[in-house]
Every structure is written in structure tokens, then in C-alpha cells.
Amino acid sequence: MNAEHTPIDSPNTFTLSEGELIALQAEAARAAGLQDVRFRDRLHDGSDAPELAVIPAGTFEYGAAPEESAPDQDRPRRSALIERSFAIGVNPVTTEEFEAFARATGWKPREELLWLSGHMPVIDVRQTDALDYCAWLSRETGQRYRLPTELEWEYACRAGAATTYPHGDSIGPDHAVYNVDKDLSHPKTPRSLASRLSRCGAKEVGGLRPNRWGLCDMPGNVWEFTTSPWTLDHASLPERPQPGNPQAVVTKGGSWFDGPECCRPASRCRRLENELDINLGFRVVREV
């Protein structure tokens, strides 16, 4: 991030009320020349790109708090500055949205892997596929789309909350899609489409309570790729990828497969950039 973009008197979002957070969001949208904090760009064919919400610049604390039950990889808690406002997907990218990219570019999912439809989050795509999708959106709209960094993702998810979860120190099924009973027993070799679909507990996006910046499904549903290389904790240097090996990256948010502890904003998971999974997706960032 460039020093010349550091805002003067950057607000500490942890000290702001919900009304002040929303006002800060509206101010950032106006500064970007947008009519609303939520908006969509248009693709060449006249259809809509994913819905976005403006996230204002500010300071916050990331990582697990000392009293929070969390593994070492989620610590320590530190302060960070988000230097520039940005826009992020209101929802994870849906299968329907990704299929527009697939039709335009000839991308095809692997036949042996599970593929959802409609407003379900896109799954079984690599980080490299997500980056290609962002590059396609950029070409289509004339704007710069990319994946969020780990800090941007956690900042947007918290929406000014210092608590364990975006809505407080506890979480329930009205806040996130996660594994309530942690029953992780699934057939290893499903033979039919119905049995394959039964393995996936993802839900349509946008059906649960949003956070204070209007973002849905940040905790739960599917883990989401970031562009940040994996680190052993928040303070250490990124792992150095070995030549010829896939890079390990940070994913955030938890999923339908995991327990509620993975839905904490501080929670982080190591995945590979070429990894495919039925509980792994992404959401986009658009620069403003």
C-alpha cells in the first residue's frame, strides 16, 4: 500500500457506533463518486457483475483477542491500518456469476467434481481460477477486480466489531451456515449425483443476517480465498514457496463443514492455490 494514500485522522472502527460506521461507509461511497454504498458494474452484454459494498478506510485490530479460544495461528492480536477504501462482494461469488465467465472464456469444471447452480456459492475452483475470474471482470467492466488480502477480508467481516464474531461473542444458525452438530461422517466414494450433492451443505448466499456493512456469508457457508501467503501466525513472515510447488495461501470464514469456531473473523486456514474443495470459494474486491 502506498503512503500517499494513507488517510488523515483515520478512524478506529472499534470505537464507532453502528450509525457512525454506516455514515463512514456512505462518505466513502460519495468520495468514490458512487450514488450508493451498494452497487453493481455492468458487463459487456449488459448483465450485472457481482453486487458490491463500499468499505471505508480505517484502523482496526485483527487476530484473536487474548481471552478468545483460538489456536496460535490466529494470534497475536495487532492493530492495522486499511489505507484506502475498497468495495467487496456483498456475497461470495455464486455459481451463476462464475458460469458467465465460463461461457465467455471456455472454462469448464472437471466432470468428476461437484458443481452447484444458481445462487449457491461457487465451489471446486482453485485460487488461480478465482484470479482469472477477477481478471475477466476487470476486462469486462474497465475496473480493477481482485481477491481481498487477509487483512481486508477480516476488516470487512468485523465491520467495527472487536468481539469474537461479527455480531457478538456467540454465533447461531441465523448468523452463519456452519456445522451445528459437527457430524463430519460422509461417504468417501459417492456413486450418484444425489449422493454427491448430499455431501455438500452449502446454502444459497444472502439468506442470513448481514454484518453492519451489509455483507452476507462472511462467517460460514464456504471458506474464501485471499491473496495473502500463509504464515504460521499473524506476526511471522510468509512461508517461502518452493520452486515448482503450489503456494500455500490464507483462506477465511469457515464453512458448512466446520464448527462455529471457524466462523470467527480471526480464524484462518491454510490451503493451496491449486486446491479444489466442496467447501471452498471466494468473493471479489473492486478498487474504488
Q: What is the CATH number of the domain that holds 108?
A: 3.90.1580.10
Q: Is residue 12 part of a domain?
A: no
- The confidence score (pLDDT) of residue 83 equals 94
- The confidence score (pLDDT) of residue 237 equals 67
Identify the bridge partners of residue 281 per DSSP, sorted by sequence position: 224
Half-sphere exposure of 180 (CA within 13 A, CB side): 8
Backbone angles phi, psi at 156, to 5 degrees: -65, -40
Residue numbers of the domain that contains 188: 18-238+245-287
- The confidence score (pLDDT) of residue 242 equals 65
Burial 158-185 (b: 16+ CB within 10 A, else e): bbbbebbbbbeeebeeebbbbbeeeeee
Q: Is 187 buried (19+), middle (13-18) or exposed (0-12) by CB count in 10 A?
A: exposed
Q: Is residue 71 part of a domain?
A: yes
Can you say whether residue 142 is alpha, beta or left, with left for phi > 0 and alpha for psi between -120 and 50 degrees? left
pLDDT in tens, 164-202: 999 999 999 999 999 987 544 343 444 444 555 567 999
C-alpha–C-alpha distance, residues 26 and 8, integer Å: 18
- The confidence score (pLDDT) of residue 10 equals 81
Q: Is residue 13 part of a domain?
A: no
Q: Is residue 68 part of a domain?
A: yes
- The confidence score (pLDDT) of residue 187 equals 39
- The confidence score (pLDDT) of residue 192 equals 47
Q: Is residue 277 part of a domain?
A: yes
Q: Is residue 148 part of a domain?
A: yes
What is the enclosing helix (H) or strand (E) of 223?
strand 223-229
As for how many domains the chain has, the answer is 1
Q: Is residue 4 part of a domain?
A: no
Q: Provide the angle, in degrees to the nearest 10, between the axes of the packed helices 95-105 and 127-141.
A: 70
Q: Within the chain, which residues score under 50 in pLDDT?
A: 1-8, 183-193
Q: What distances in angstroms separate CA 264 from CA 11, 85, 164, 221, 244, one per listed residue?
A: 23, 23, 6, 13, 33
- The confidence score (pLDDT) of residue 235 equals 73
